[in-house]
Amino acid sequence: QKEVEQDPGPLSVPEGAIVSLNCTYSNSAFQYFMWYRQYSRKGPELLMYTYSSGNKEDGRFTAQVDKSSKYISLFIRDSQPSDSATYLCAMRVTGANNLFFGTGTRLTVIP
């Protein structure tokens, strides 16, 4: 069993829809939770970063962490065609630098 599980999709939504992306994990020591966006043939770029439980909002993006359920989410409001990419969740433990990634969810926003 992988430490981080993520539905690979693909996920197709119409422009303007609310998108929900999720990951579950098994290691309760994870304290730092990230979402990366990866466009085709590019490297992952950091989108959101959350420490421990709670919510964090940045423009149209909201990251949620529920440590009791070992579940994290990324919500995208008013989705745009430019949001079409693969979204990777990642997490790490305190004091360690290496990230554990989910397999990524491929999102397509249709104009």
Partner 1 sequence: DTAVSQTPKYLVTQMGNDKSIKCEQNLGHDTMYWYKQDSKKFLKIMFSYNNKELIINETVPNRFSPKSPDKAHLNLHINSLELGDSAVYFCASSQGGSGTEAFFGQGTRLTVV
Under the binding rule (CB under 8 A), the answer on residue 97 touching partner 1 is yes
Phi, psi of 82 (to 5 degrees): -70, -10
For residue 17, CA distances in Å to 32, 55, 58, 69 come to 28, 20, 17, 26
Under the binding rule (CB under 8 A), the answer on residue 104 touching partner 1 is yes
Under the binding rule (CB under 8 A), the answer on residue 58 touching partner 1 is no
* Binding residue for partner 1, selected from 23, 34, 63, 109, defined by CB under 8 A: 34
* Binding residue for partner 1, selected from 21, 63, 74, 88, defined by CB under 8 A: 88
Under the binding rule (CB under 8 A), the answer on residue 94 touching partner 1 is yes
Query: What is the b/e burial string over 28-67, where b = at least 16 CB atoms within 10 angstroms of the residue's CB?
Result: eebbbbbbbbbeeeeebeebbebeeeeeeeeeebbbbbee
Instruction: Point out which residues bind partner 1 (CB under 8 A).
Output: 8, 32, 34, 36, 38, 41-46, 49, 86, 88, 90, 94-95, 97-99, 101, 103-104, 106
